[in-house]
A and B are shown apart, each in its own frame.
Chain A
Amino acid sequence: MAEYTPMEMIAYTGSRVLEDESIVFVGTGLPIIAAMHAQHTHAPNLLMIYEAGSLAPLLEMGMPLSVGDTRAARKATYLKGLCGVFELTQRGYSDYAFIGGAQIDMYGNICSTIQGEDYRKPQVRFPGSGGAGAMAANCEKTIAIMALEKRRFVEKVDFVTSIGFGDGSPDYRDKAGVMGSGPYRVITNQALFGFDEETRRMKLLEVKPGVTPQEVQDLVGFELIIPSDVKEMKEPTEDDLKLLRETIDAEGHFLKRQIKK
């Protein structure tokens, strides 16, 4: 089996989760890489939305380094502004939100605003919602990428930036006035999670070969639903890695980053 890094595993798994003939609203970094990999392999008709205003660009100048990068507007089929693409999303044109964050809880609520309890004077201020809050509300399904660490998979997030299933009550999202069906997958380098239909709680779907469900549970600050049929995550092949390293992120802007210990 080919040697791969945690970032490459996340990008590859992200690609696997995306279906062909759909629209994915991408955030900066790994979501873009995952969507590009999917387009090059199993999902040639997967289309991307970039929040500065473009739909279905051709990324001929290479991977955009941010969602506002002029390269993400190149040869789009539809090019407006933020209102234009977020309104496509509210209307139901966007199948997947693909976002990151600093913390996530068992109901898929995500924090990317602050660390700490005092909004006026937080320990750490993150950049803020950006598009993530709107994407998690109104794309049909939310896919989150997060490093599998106890400080990130928490009992209670410091701030809900991107809505998941709230407190887990069946009508939480309905009362919140949002349109999408909510959290769908959480991708990490060691495990792939989904959500239980009955309880809306995070459920372990797949583990990296060699990792046990208990080892995953030990890295998570809340109780996971662990079914008896947890599968092994598929690993990227040499061809996948070549595509990721030489074609998609040839300069190593995102894939060469380390997960902080």
Chain B
Amino acid sequence: MKKIGSSIEKISRVKYDQKPLEYWGPTPDEARKIMVSKSKALKDKRTTLQEAVKTHIKDGINLGLGGFVNTRVPVAAVHEVIRHGARDLTLSMQSNSICCELLAGAMILDPDRVSIKRAELAWWGYEIIGIAPLLRYLTSNGMIELDDYTNYGMSVRFKAAAMGIPFIPVRDHGGSDMELLNKGTMMECPYTGRNVYLVPACHPDVSLIHVTAADMYGNSRLFGAQCTCAELAMAGTYSIVTAETIISDESIRNYPNLTEIPHPAVDSLVEVPFGAYPGACYGFYWFDMDHIKMFRAASEEFRKTGDKTKLKQYYDEYIFGCANHEEFIEKVTDEETRKKLKEMDGGQPVILT
């Protein structure tokens, strides 16, 4: 039983079993061993998404999802994971929308190809557009195990992993039901004597991250909100980074302060313009609400009626019907749409030279 700070169990109606604490991915020691074993050379990491996914994505892994809700989300990489197939996944993320719903939909259509066993997370939804229908379907039917944290809790679990420490003290979760049911634990601070909550490091096996720009070695820049992308890249034992654009090594060396993800934290690098679409990428394009709504409507129809026809059509047309992200973007947008999305972002300057 966990030591707890207060009488939380008397305040709410929820019931849950306290689980033995276990890592849902590599332990800090395992993660360190893998990092030490890798070549640290500045070498060309560029490849195709097919190759990157084939190399790193396996059944049973903990898959870290980058971005935040619909900002700089790794949609291109998730499409390729779905085409490739991956079962018994653990997802780890702070807040995400379309990436986890896309994986959930793939599971509903063909659990022998893609399945999510569990997720450690803070939030899964569509914000203004509505609730996430497929999450609701999976949870109402007890098909997925969840472990709840706050956005800071998940972010700082990746940060602790990136720092190479096994846990980190935080000032939240205490006094909420998350205190009892997640993997954190309350303890007395050895210095102040006050209660303080600890959350364990979270090392995904593979992190999927879409960055603004990177050189061919993987040194990456993040413009706009940085979400938890740098922490996630460094927490993962392996990472697949898609970049909106590839920039010169000379530029990286002229402004080394702008590098947020250092090259050894990147295993596979793929240049994918519109790689976060229908999510947004600051300085390049705003999110495409119509497309997200279209996918959500197909998901909601399935949840309400059990009819998978429209959901299946979406996957057949936009994921299995496209060899890569370029084909997907060609299929779903025209020049005018792309121009409009760029205007709606507002075109804040990003440094690419």
Instruction: Please state if B280 and A69 are interface contacts (CB–CB under 8 Å).
Output: yes
Instruction: Please state if B228 and A127 are interface contacts (CB–CB under 8 Å).
Output: no
Q: Could you tell me the distance in whole angstroms from the C-beta of B114 to the nearest C-beta in chain A?
A: 20
Instruction: Please state if A138 and B172 are interface contacts (CB–CB under 8 Å).
Output: yes
**With a CB–CB cut-off of 8 A, which chain B residues contact A130?**
95, 122-123, 150-151
Instruction: Please state if B13 and A158 are interface contacts (CB–CB under 8 Å).
Output: yes
Which of chain A's residues 156-186 have a Cβ closer than 8 Å to chain B? 156-163, 166-167, 169, 172-179
CA distance A107 to B289 in the complex (A): 38
Mask, A35-58, CB within 8 Å of B = 1, is: 000000000000000111110000
**With a CB–CB cut-off of 8 A, which chain B residues contact A113?**
148, 177
CA distance A122 to B15 in the complex (A): 10
A205 at the interface (CB under 8 A from B): no
B189 and chain A: residue at smallest CB distance = A177
CA distance A117 to B62 in the complex (A): 28
Q: Could you tell me the distance in whole angstroms from the C-beta of A38 to the nearest C-beta in chain B?
A: 21
Q: Could you tell me the distance in whole angstroms from the C-beta of A2 to the nearest C-beta in chain B?
A: 26
Given contacts A70-B346, A120-B16, A128-B121, contact A167 B149 (CB under 8 A): no
Instruction: Please state if B155 and A82 are interface contacts (CB–CB under 8 Å).
Output: yes
B68 at the interface (CB under 8 A from A): yes
A53 and chain B: residue at smallest CB distance = B225
Q: Could you tell me the distance in whole angstroms from the C-beta of B16 to the nearest C-beta in chain A?
A: 4
Instruction: Please state if B176 and A163 are interface contacts (CB–CB under 8 Å).
Output: yes
A209 at the interface (CB under 8 A from B): no
B37 at the interface (CB under 8 A from A): no
CA distance A71 to B343 in the complex (A): 11
CA distance A166 to B224 in the complex (A): 37
Given contacts A70-B280, A83-B156, contact A127 B151 (CB under 8 A): no
B227 at the interface (CB under 8 A from A): yes
Instruction: Please state if A60 and B151 are interface contacts (CB–CB under 8 Å).
Output: no
B167 at the interface (CB under 8 A from A): no
B179 at the interface (CB under 8 A from A): yes
A217 at the interface (CB under 8 A from B): no
A137 at the interface (CB under 8 A from B): yes
B27 at the interface (CB under 8 A from A): no
CA distance A172 to B11 in the complex (A): 11
* Partner among B15, B122, B175 whose Cβ is within 8 Å of the Cβ of A128: B122
Instruction: Please state if B11 and A117 are interface contacts (CB–CB under 8 Å).
Output: no
Contact stretch, chosen from A6-14, A73-81, A192-200:
A73-81
Mask, A101-132, CB within 8 Å of B = 1, is: 00001010101011011111111111111111
A153 at the interface (CB under 8 A from B): no
Q: Could you tell me the distance in whole angstroms from the C-beta of B107 to the nearest C-beta in chain A?
A: 16
Instruction: Please state if B194 and A66 are interface contacts (CB–CB under 8 Å).
Output: no
* Partner among B71, B186, B226 whose Cβ is within 8 Å of the Cβ of A79: B226
Instruction: Please state if B151 and A161 are interface contacts (CB–CB under 8 Å).
Output: no
CA distance A60 to B226 in the complex (A): 20
Instruction: Please state if A65 and B128 are interface contacts (CB–CB under 8 Å).
Output: yes
B323 at the interface (CB under 8 A from A): no
CA distance A175 to B7 in the complex (A): 10
CA distance A29 to B141 in the complex (A): 30
* Partner among A60, A84, A134 whose Cβ is within 8 Å of the Cβ of B150: A134
Instruction: Please state if A172 and B175 are interface contacts (CB–CB under 8 Å).
Output: yes
Contact stretch, chosen from B130-138, B238-246, B293-301:
B130-138
A1 at the interface (CB under 8 A from B): no
A157 and chain B: residue at smallest CB distance = B12
Instruction: Please state if A160 and B68 are interface contacts (CB–CB under 8 Å).
Output: no
Q: Among A86, A90, A125, A172, which residue has the most Cβ atoms of chain B within 10 A? A: A125
**With a CB–CB cut-off of 8 A, which chain A residues contact B224?**
70, 73, 79
* Partner among A86, A116, A122 whose Cβ is within 8 Å of the Cβ of B152: A86
A67 at the interface (CB under 8 A from B): yes
**With a CB–CB cut-off of 8 A, which chain B residues contact A120?**
16, 142, 145
A241 at the interface (CB under 8 A from B): no
* Partner among A54, A90, A134 whose Cβ is within 8 Å of the Cβ of B151: A134
A contact set with B: CB distance below 8 Å: 28-29, 50-54, 60-61, 65-75, 79-84, 86, 89-90, 105, 107, 109, 111, 113-114, 116-134, 137-138, 156-163, 166-167, 169, 172-179, 253-254
- Known: A53-B227, A73-B348, A83-B152; 12 extra A-B contacts, CB below 8 A, are A82-B151, A83-B155, A120-B142, A120-B145, A126-B131, A127-B95, A128-B148, A129-B151, A134-B152, A157-B12, A167-B7, A174-B194
B contact set with A: CB distance below 8 Å: 5-8, 10-16, 67-71, 94-95, 121-125, 127-128, 131-132, 135-136, 139-142, 145-146, 148-153, 155-156, 159, 170-179, 181, 186, 194-197, 222, 224-231, 280-283, 286-287, 289, 344-346, 348
Could you give 12 example pairs across A and B, Cβ below 8 Å? A29-B128, A60-B346, A69-B287, A70-B225, A82-B228, A83-B156, A109-B176, A111-B12, A117-B13, A125-B146, A177-B5, A177-B175
